[in-house]
Structure 1
Amino acid sequence: MSLVLPSELVVDRFLPTVRAMLAARLADRGLTQREIAAELGVTQAAVSKYVGGESGGDDWFRNDPETVATVERIADGLAGGEMDGYDALAELLSLVHSLEDRGPICELHEEEMPELRGLGCDLCVRGLDPDVRAERDVLANVRTATRTLASIPGMDDVVPNVGTNVGMSLPEPGDETDVAAVPGRIYAMGGRIEIPANPEFGASKHVATAVLAANDTDSEIRAAINVATDDGLLEAARERGLEPLEFDADYEDRGEHLRERFAARGTVPAVAYHQGAFGIEPVSYVFGTTAVEAAELLEALLETISP
C-alpha cells in the first residue's frame, strides 16, 4: 500500500501550480518580479521561472474552473490592493477544502492510493466518520468474496448468460445505493471468472433487489450472489438441510414478490430460485449475512456436486 496524505498532494502538486498561475497573472497585471516574489513569499528566481513558463505545474489544477476562478480573484485583489496576504490565504484554504471534497485533490488521492477507489471517500472532509468505516468494511468484504468466487472450481458452470454478481448492504439499507456490488457484473470467459472492476455502491440493481428484500425480512441477511439455477446445486443445498425456496420469475416487482415469499416461509432461505420464463434465464440466489459467507456457502455447495 502507498500511504499518501492529501496534504502531500497540496504541497507537492497544488501549491506549486497555483503559485505559477498567480505569478503569471500578477505579471500580466503589471507587477514586477520583485513585487510578485514579495506577495507570494518566494524568491525572485522562482518568479522568473514561473513567469517564463519553466515551472511546469499540474494540469489537474491548471484546467480546474474553480482553481482558475480563485486565482483570477486573488490576482485582481492583490494587484488592486483590495486583498492582502491574509485574504489570499483565506481564499486558498477555502479552495483546498473544496478541491478535497470530491474535487481534483480527491481524484489525485485516489490515483495515488487505489485502495480509496469506489469508497465515495469523504475522509478529508468528514474525518474518521463511522459511516465511512462501515462503507469500507462492506467494500472490502465484497472484494474478498469476488476473489473466493474466482477461485471456486466449477464456478464458470453456474455463471448465467447475464453474468453473476455479489452484493452486500450497509446495516439498515434504504435503497440500492446502500448495496455494494461489482460494476458490469462477473462473467465466465474461457473457463475463467473475470472480475471487471472493484465493487462500488449502487452498481447492481438486480442483486440489490434481492439483498434489500432479504434484509427487510431478516436484518442479519445483508448479502446475496446470483447464479444460474442448477439442479445439482439445489440438491446439494437440500442435502445440507437448506431447503431452497422457489419463486416466480416473471413478477414485475421482484423485490415485493420475494418479500412475500420470504414472509410465507417465515425466514430468508439460504437459496432461492426460479426456473425462468419467456426471455428470462433461470437464476438462483445464495444468501448470507455477509458477501464472504454467501460465497463460502456457494463454494461448499459446488464442491458437493463437482465430479
Structure 2
Amino acid sequence: MSLRLPSEIVVEDVLPTLRVLLARELAARELTQQEIATHLGVTQAAVSTYVSGDPALEPRIADHPRTAETVERIATGLADGEMDGYDALAAVMELVRAFEDRGPICALHEESMPELAGLGCDLCVRGANPELRAERAVLDSVREASRILATTPDLPAFVPNVGTNVGTALSDATAVADVAAVPGRIYVLDHSVEVPANPEFGASKHVATTILAAMAVDPDRRGALNLATDDALLAAAEARGLDTMAFEAGYENRGDRLREQFADRGAVPDLLYHRGAFGIEPITYVLADDGAAAARLASELVEAATEK
C-alpha cells in the first residue's frame, strides 16, 4: 500500500504549481524578480526558472478555472498593495480546501492511493468516521462481487443483453443513492466478463430498487445481482433448496409491488425472476446479505447449471 497524506499532495503538486503561476502573473504586472521572490518566499533564481524556464506543472491544478481566478486575485492584490502575505495565504488556503472537497486534490490522492478509488472520499474535510467506514465496506463488497463474476468461467452465457450489475446497500439505505453498484453495468466482450469501472453509489436503479424492496421486509438482504432467466439456473436453485419467486415483468412502481409481495409471503426469496414481456428481457435476481454473497451464490448456481 502507498500511504500518502493529502498534505503531501499540497506540498508536492499544488504549491509548486501555484508558485509558478503566481510568479508569471506578478511578472506580467512588472514586478521585479526579487520582489516576486520576496512575496513568494523563494529565491530570485527560483523565480527566474518559474518565469523563463519550463518548470513542471500539475495540469489538474494549473488548468482549473478556480486556480486561474485565485492566482489573478492574489497577483492583483499583491501588485496593488491591497493584499499582504496573510491575505494571500488565506486565499491559497481557501483554494486548497475547495480542492480537497472532492476536487483535483482528491483525484491526485486516489491516483497515488488506489485504495481510495471510488469512495467519493471526504477524508480531508470530515476526517475518519463510521459513515465513511460503512461506505468503504459497501464499495469493497461490490468490488469483491465484480471479481467473482469476472472469474466465473461460464458466466458470460448468463449475462443478459442489457448487462449485469451487482449492488450492496448501506444498512440504513432508503434511496437508490444509498446502494453501490458498477457504473455502466457489467457486460460480455469476446466471451469474457468485463467490469468497466469501480463501484459508485447510485450507479444502478434496477438492482437498487430490488434491494430496497427486499430490505423493507428483511433489512439483512442488502445485496443483489441480475442474470438472464434460464431454466437450468432455476433448476440448480431448486435442487439446492433455495427459495424462488416469480413476478411479472411489466410492473409499474415495481419497487412498491415487490415490497407488497415480499410482505405477503413473509420472506424475501433467494431468487426472484420473470419471464419477460414485450420489449423486456427475462431477468433473474439473486439476493443475499451483500453483493459479494450474491455473486458467490450466482457463481455456484452457474457452475451447477453448466455441469456436463
Structure 2 CA distance, aligned partners of 1:126 and 1:244? 43
What amino acid maps onto 2:112 in structure 1?
E
Pick which of 164-173 and 50-59 moved more: 50-59
Structure 2 CA distance, aligned partners of 1:109 and 1:243? 45
Q: CA deviation at 1:139?
A: 0.8
* 1:33 alignment counterpart: 33
Q: 1:303 and 1:54, CA in 2 relative to 1: closer, same or farther beyond 3 A? A: closer
What per-residue deviation string (whole Å, max 9, x for no partner) do you get for residues 98-118 of structure 1? 111122212222222333222
Structure 2 CA distance, aligned partners of 1:11 and 1:243? 57
Pick which of 275-284 and 150-159 moved more: 150-159
Matched residue SS, 2:227: strand
Structure 1 CA distance, aligned partners of 2:242 and 2:54? 70
* 1:252 alignment counterpart: 252
Q: 1:131 and 1:80, CA in 2 relative to 1: closer, same or farther beyond 3 A? A: same
What amino acid maps onto 2:42 in structure 1?
V
Alignment gaps of 5+ in structure 2:
none
Structure 1 CA distance, aligned partners of 2:53 and 2:91? 24
Matched residue SS, 1:3: coil
What per-residue deviation string (whole Å, max 9, x for no partner) do you get for residues 106-143 of structure 1? 22222223332221111111110221111111111111
Matched residue SS, 2:243: coil
Structure 2 CA distance, aligned partners of 1:229 and 1:57? 53
Q: CA deviation at 1:204?
A: 0.9
Pick which of 212-221 and 114-123 moved more: 114-123
* 1:182 alignment counterpart: 182
Q: Where in structure 2 are the equivalents of 1:1-307 lying within 5 Å?
A: 1-305=1-305, 306-307=307-308
Runs ≥4 residues deviating over 4 A? none
Q: CA deviation at 1:190?
A: 3.4
What per-residue deviation string (whole Å, max 9, x for no partner) do you get for residues 183-230 of structure 1? 111123333212122211111111111111111111111010111112
Q: CA deviation at 1:261?
A: 1.4
Structure 2 CA distance, aligned partners of 1:144 and 1:194? 14
Matched residue SS, 1:234: helix
Q: CA deviation at 1:53?
A: 4.0
Alignment gaps of 5+ in structure 1:
none
Q: How many percent of aligned residue pairs carry the same amino acid?
A: 59
Aligned positions, number: 307
Q: CA deviation at 1:276?
A: 1.1
What amino acid maps onto 2:154 in structure 1?
G
Structure 2 CA distance, aligned partners of 1:190 and 1:18? 47
Q: 1:245 and 1:221, CA in 2 relative to 1: closer, same or farther beyond 3 A? A: same
Structure 2 CA distance, aligned partners of 1:194 and 1:26? 50
Q: TM-score with structure 2 length normalisation?
A: 0.94
Matched residue SS, 1:160: coil
Let me know the Cα RMSD of the aligned residues.
1.5
Structure 1 CA distance, aligned partners of 2:190 and 2:19? 53
Q: 1:32 and 1:159, CA in 2 relative to 1: closer, same or farther beyond 3 A? A: same
Structure 2 CA distance, aligned partners of 1:122 and 1:217? 32
Structure 2 CA distance, aligned partners of 1:50 and 1:304? 66
What amino acid maps onto 1:270 in structure 2?
D
Matched residue SS, 1:96: helix
Structure 1 CA distance, aligned partners of 2:190 and 2:63? 43
Structure 2 CA distance, aligned partners of 1:119 and 1:164? 22
Structure 2 CA distance, aligned partners of 1:179 and 1:79? 51
Pick which of 228-237 and 281-290 moved more: 228-237
Q: TM-score with structure 1 length normalisation?
A: 0.95
Q: CA deviation at 1:58?
A: 2.4
What per-residue deviation string (whole Å, max 9, x for no partner) do you get for residues 13-32 of structure 1? 21111111111222222322
What per-residue deviation string (whole Å, max 9, x for no partner) do you get for residues 167-187 of structure 1? 111111121111111111112
Q: CA deviation at 1:56?
A: 3.4
Structure 2 CA distance, aligned partners of 1:195 and 1:89? 44
